[in-house]
């Protein structure tokens, strides 16, 4: 029985060194960061893996790992230990039997099931169990085993620094808890992005939005984006230039506490703001 370790050397087993029934194991504990990293590199942002609120209402009643995260552990075992460097992956079939959750410790085991002298092909039975011994994943792999011995310094895996925009946003929301929402002039919010941003901020009780711009364009953008403007104050003006001027005037008069840029050029808004001595 072989087992992956953190030794400073990585060494393979050649085709001739493998025998039927020989096996190797790998142990790994799933952390939340593993799920986030797998989502980042694979592009698989299925909410079942990343959104606890959504995941709690699914069949699995909570966040689970990507199925192929377990499959990647099999690949790691084959490529680094058994048979190791020089192995060529040809085929893999997998049955996903149980979900894997944060905190689960998996044992990955591959066992030589058959050897084919032609092309040095090897079939390996693969199984993955959790800390209770429950089988969560199983299948068969076929590889071309190396024929030459390899022994090299082990290369450390690259460090990954995860940046979770939602976590940063949640931290800001926590800081704002207990504060009263401020009256915010949203200047020329005539597209889905600027409207949704303002309304989302309002839903978190950060602002009381005052939409300043052509009313027909604002309502058209809201309808197209399926956003409700019920109860939202609108100050109708003819165009973006007038919207910027009206917003700056209202801010000077103390009717608005902050301004939010909508779908107009930054220079257009800043020109109106700087034209007001009380806002410089």
Tell me, letter by letter, the H, E, C secondary structure of 150-210: CEEECCCCCCCCCCCHHHHHHHHHHHHCCCCCEEEEEECCCCHHHHHHHHHHHHCCCEEEE
Q: Are residues 8 and 130 in the same domain?
A: yes
Residues 201-215 pLDDT 10s? 999 999 999 999 999
Q: Are residues 198 and 265 in the same domain?
A: yes
Residues in the chain: 280
Q: Are residues 37 and 148 in the same domain?
A: yes
pLDDT of residue 73: 97
Pairing assessment for the beta strands 135-144 and 88-96 based on DSSP bridges: antiparallel
pLDDT of residue 166: 73
Q: Are residues 121 and 228 in the same domain?
A: no
Residues 225-271 pLDDT 10s? 999 999 999 999 999 999 999 999 999 999 999 999 999 999 999 99
In a domain, 163, yes or no: no
Range of the domain at 14: 2-153
Q: Are residues 10 and 108 in the same domain?
A: yes
pLDDT tier at 25, thresholds 50, 70, 90:
very high
- Note the pTM of the prediction, 2 decimals: 0.64
In a domain, 170, yes or no: no
Helix axes 266-274, 240-252, angle to 10 degrees: 40
In a domain, 103, yes or no: yes
Q: Are residues 99 and 196 in the same domain?
A: no
The domain that contains 13 carries what CATH number?
3.10.129.10
Q: Are residues 26 and 135 in the same domain?
A: yes
Q: Is the pLDDT of residue 217 over 70?
A: yes
Give the total number of structural domains in the chain: 2
pLDDT of residue 270: 94
pLDDT of residue 174: 85
Q: Are residues 149 and 81 in the same domain?
A: yes
Residues 176-194 pLDDT 10s? 888 999 999 999 999 999 9
In a domain, 160, yes or no: no
Q: Is the pLDDT of residue 2 over 60?
A: no
In a domain, 168, yes or no: no
Mean local confidence (pLDDT), 151-157: 89
The domain that contains 269 carries what CATH number?
3.40.50.10950
pLDDT of residue 136: 97
pLDDT of residue 1: 56
pLDDT of residue 162: 80
Distance CA 154, CA 149 (A): 15
In a domain, 172, yes or no: no
Rg (CA), the chain: 29
In a domain, 169, yes or no: no
Cβ count within 10 A of residue 170:
11
pLDDT tier at 146, thresholds 50, 70, 90:
very high
Q: Are residues 101 and 149 in the same domain?
A: yes
Residues 42-99 pLDDT 10s? 999 999 999 888 999 999 999 999 999 999 999 999 999 999 999 999 999 999 999 9
Sheet containing strand 2-3, edge to edge, reads: 2-3, 23-29, 105-116, 121-129, 135-144, 88-96
Residues 90-137 pLDDT 10s? 999 999 999 999 999 999 999 999 999 999 999 999 999 999 999 999
Q: Are residues 8 and 127 in the same domain?
A: yes
Q: Are residues 238 and 273 in the same domain?
A: yes
Average pLDDT of the chain? Answer: 93
Q: Are residues 94 and 187 in the same domain?
A: no
In a domain, 158, yes or no: no
């Amino acid at each position: 029985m072989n087992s992956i370790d953190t030794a400073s050397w990585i060494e393979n087993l050649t085709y001739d060194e493998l025998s039927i029934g020989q096996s190797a194991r790998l142990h790994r504990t799933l952390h939340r960061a593993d799920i986030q990293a797998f989502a980042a590199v694979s592009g698989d942002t299925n909410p079942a893996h990343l959104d606890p609120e959504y995941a709690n209402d699914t069949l699995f009643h909570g966040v689970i790992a990507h199925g192929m995260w377990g499959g990647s552990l099999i690949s790691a075992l084959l490529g680094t230990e058994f048979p190791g460097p020089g192995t060529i992956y040809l085929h893999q079939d997998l049955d996903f039997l149980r979900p894997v959750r944060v905190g689960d410790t998996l044992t990955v085991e591959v066992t030589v099931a058959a050897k084919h002298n032609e092309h040095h092909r090897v079939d390996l039975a693969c199984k993955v169990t959790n800390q209770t011994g429950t089988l969560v994943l199983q299948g068969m792999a076929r590889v071309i085993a190396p024929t030459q011995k390899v022994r090299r310094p082990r290369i450390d895996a690259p460090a990954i620094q995860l940046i979770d925009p939602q976590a940063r946003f949640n931290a800001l929301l926590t800081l704002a808890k207990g504060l009263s929402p401020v009256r915010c002039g949203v200047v020329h919010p005539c597209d889905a992005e600027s409207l949704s941003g303002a309304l989302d901020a309002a839903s978190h009780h950060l602002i009381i939005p005052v939409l300043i711009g052509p009313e027909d364009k604002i309502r058209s953008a809201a309808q197209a984006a399926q956003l409700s403007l019920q109860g939202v104050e609108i100050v109708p003006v003819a165009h973006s230039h007038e919207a910027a001027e009206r917003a700056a005037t209202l801010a000077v008069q103390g009717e608005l506490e902050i301004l939010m840029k909508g779908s107009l050029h930054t220079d257009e808004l800043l020109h109106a703001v700087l034209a007001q001595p009380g806002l410089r």
